[in-house]
Each structure stands twice: as C-alpha cells, then as structure tokens.
Amino acid sequence: MTTLMDCIEDIPCKLEEIANNRHIRFSKLLKYLEGKDEIDEIVLVASGTSYNSAFTIKSFCENLCGLRTTLVYPNIFVNYTKNLNKKALYVMISQGGATRLVYEALEKVKNKGCLNCSITANLDCIIATHADVAIEMGCGEEEYNYRTLGYSTTVATLYMMCIKIAEFYNKLSEEKVEELILDFSKLYSSLKQIKENTLTWYYKNKFSLMRRNKMMIAATNDLWPVAQESDIKVMEMVPMITRSFELEEFIHGPQNSFDDATVFFILSREGEDSNKAKSIARFIKSEIGFCALIGNNGIEERDLEINPVSKYFSTLEFITPMQIIAFKLADDHGRDLKRGVNASITNYITKTI
C-alpha cells in the first residue's frame, strides 16, 4: 500500500520531470502570448494549498523575473473584484480541476476577454478544458487529499512558468536561466538528505511533540507562505489546531497566547532576520516550552538543521521537514489518512462542480 511518505519521497523525481520538460510544458502558453501586448501582471487565483503555492513564488517572480504578481482568493475574485487588468495573464490554479469558484473566476475572466491559463493535476478536468491554455501541474493523480506532491509540484511549475515568461520577454538572459535551472537541480539530492535528517530529529523529539496539542509556525520573506502551508498540513493531517505568522507579527499579539501546550517552529535562513529568529526561539525555549528552529541559522539544542543548498528555490527544501513531521505525527496518533474528518460537511456545502 502506498503511504503518504511514499508521496513525499516521490517529490524529487517529480521536480526533475517538471524542470526537464519545461520547454514542452509551456510551449502552448508562449505561443498564446505571441503577437499580443506584453503582459504587465500575473494574477494568480487560488485557494488553500494552491494559494500557498502561488504565494511561495511571488517574491521570485517579482524580484528575479521582473513580473508583477498578484494573489487573489477565488471568492474575493468572483464576488468582490470589479475591475480586471486587460494586460494581465490570469492563472487559475486548482489541483482537482473542478473547484466551483475557480471555474467561476475563469468564466469571469473569459467574459471580459482577458488572457488566461489554468494549472491543474490533469488536462481532462472542466477548468483545464475551459481555459485558453491548460498547463499540467506535474503531480499526477495524488492518492491522498493532503496535498504534499501537489504543493511542491505547483510551486515548481510556477517557478518554471515564471522563468519561461521572463525569458520570452527578455527579462532573463540565457546565462541567468542556465544558472537558475542548475540551481533547481540541486534539490533532487538535497530533499532526500533533508528527509533523513528530519526523521532522525523526529524520533529524538517524538515524545515532546506528541504530548502537545497545538502548533505555531513562523517565518519571513518567501518562507512565510511555506509556514502557512505547514500550518494547513498539520491541521489537516494530525489534526491539531495550528497558526502561522510572519516572523515580526509573531511577537506582537500572538505571544500573549504562548503556552507549554503548543509546539513552536521557526523556519529560518541564515541572513534573513537571523538574530530575531534566534532570539525568539531562545525566549520560547527558556520561558515557554518546546521550540525548534528549522534551517541553517545557528543551530542549538532541539533545532532541526537542514542546510538548504539551493540559492533560489530553497522554499522547496524548507517545506519537506514540515510535510514529514505532519505525516509522522498523524501516523503516530493513529490517524487513518485515507479517511476524511467531518466528511459530512458535503451534506451542507460543496466546493466542486
């Protein structure tokens, strides 16, 4: 039987396929953009894990690829967004490909004559067939509803899409593209090593993790959306109450609720608010309870060292420990990940077509 850990272990292979097939995967999109005015914005319409994936690449898309990037939840887009940008490319993201509000958002865009494409797990779904251009997410049919493969492959697909569009508009040189792809390839072996480091750390700290029933996760820059995705994974899988915060916001109001029933994780790269992250971690360890830094930022007792090797794509390295921790906690709590919790909600409301 395939376990969710098998899905996590399959991620490096999926990432390699996405990078190697990027020329074919995005050829229809680039053909679609030919002869049209240059786009001045990419608008990503998504929710849940798909939204977190879009948020993860926003900084890269804007700062490396020179493409203004906007994120919108489908409900906000459908019901409250009045004016559309005729020079934007609207990207509709839905792993299952039948999210009702994403489909309605696509309808709204098409009715206004705006450029659009979809990113879905397969190309036979209603959203893909309705979009002007359909892009495959690269995860295949994910066996579990708890999107691990889907998050990582959506992030990778969006990274590659941004690179191809930026290259198309001469915002990235050929040399820079080669550098980026080489850097991306470092992930394939790195994720395997991070998995081993995380499992070793987990078994060492298993008792402390399992005796707590809440979790808070903090990070900054493009690791903040990784923290948000971690939040969802733990809440869905374990399940337990979780919250995620941008690092600075973590020590404003939220600190008033810190207690020893909570597990605290801080995702931290060296050089990005490093001292602040370490200081918060030391405070929690000394005054509150269990806290672990995850990353390469001055590792101390209880911290999880992962030593990311990618310069541009380390978000995909930082999510790996949290995917594994979520799965292991769920498994050790006896959770059957083949079965949903509160599945009867579909008797009251449905999100799919």
Boundaries of every domain in the chain: 4-185, 189-332
Determine the pLDDT at residue 344: 87
pLDDT at 4 over 80: yes
pLDDT at 205 over 80: yes
- For residue 79, what pLDDT band results from cuts at 50, 70 and 90? very high
Residue-wise pLDDT tens digits, 159-177: 999 999 999 999 999 999 9
- Kindly report the average pLDDT of the chain as a whole number: 95
Closest CA to 48 of 93, 79, 81, 15: 93
Query: How confident is the model over 267-285, as a mean pLDDT?
Result: 94
- For residue 118, what pLDDT band results from cuts at 50, 70 and 90? very high
Residue 284 CA to chain centroid, in angstroms? 26
pLDDT at 67 over 70: yes
Determine the pLDDT at residue 299: 74
Determine the pLDDT at residue 233: 96
Count, residues in the chain? 353
- For residue 343, what pLDDT band results from cuts at 50, 70 and 90? confident
Residue-wise pLDDT tens digits, 292-314: 999 998 778 899 999 999 999 99
Q: Is the sign of the CA dihedral 256, 261, 262, 263 positive or negative?
A: positive
What b/e sequence results for 13-25 when a residue is b if at least 16 CB atoms lie within 10 Å of its CB, and e otherwise? ebbeebbeebeeb
d(CA 90, CA 77): 11
Determine the pLDDT at residue 1: 56
CA-based R_g, the chain, Å: 20
Cβ contacts of 37 within 8 Å, gap of 6 or more: 87
Cβ contacts of 283 within 8 Å, gap of 6 or more: none
Cβ–Cβ < 8 Å for 267, 294: yes
Find out if CATH 1.10.8.100 is the number for domain 4-185. no
pTM equals: 0.97
Q: Is the sign of the CA dihedral 335, 336, 342, 346 positive or negative?
A: positive
Of the chain, the percentage scoring pLDDT greater than 90 comes to 88
Please determine whether the domains at 4-185 and 189-332 fall in the same fold group of CATH.
yes
Cβ contacts of 325 within 8 Å, gap of 6 or more: 198, 202, 209, 234
pLDDT at 261 over 60: yes
d(CA 205, CA 319): 19
Query: How confident is the model over 41-51, as a mean pLDDT?
Result: 97
In terms of CATH architecture, what is 189-332? 3-Layer(aba) Sandwich (3.40)
pLDDT at 347 over 90: no
**Tokens matching residue 224:** 């903040």
Query: How confident is the model over 152-164, as a mean pLDDT?
Result: 98
Determine the pLDDT at residue 338: 83
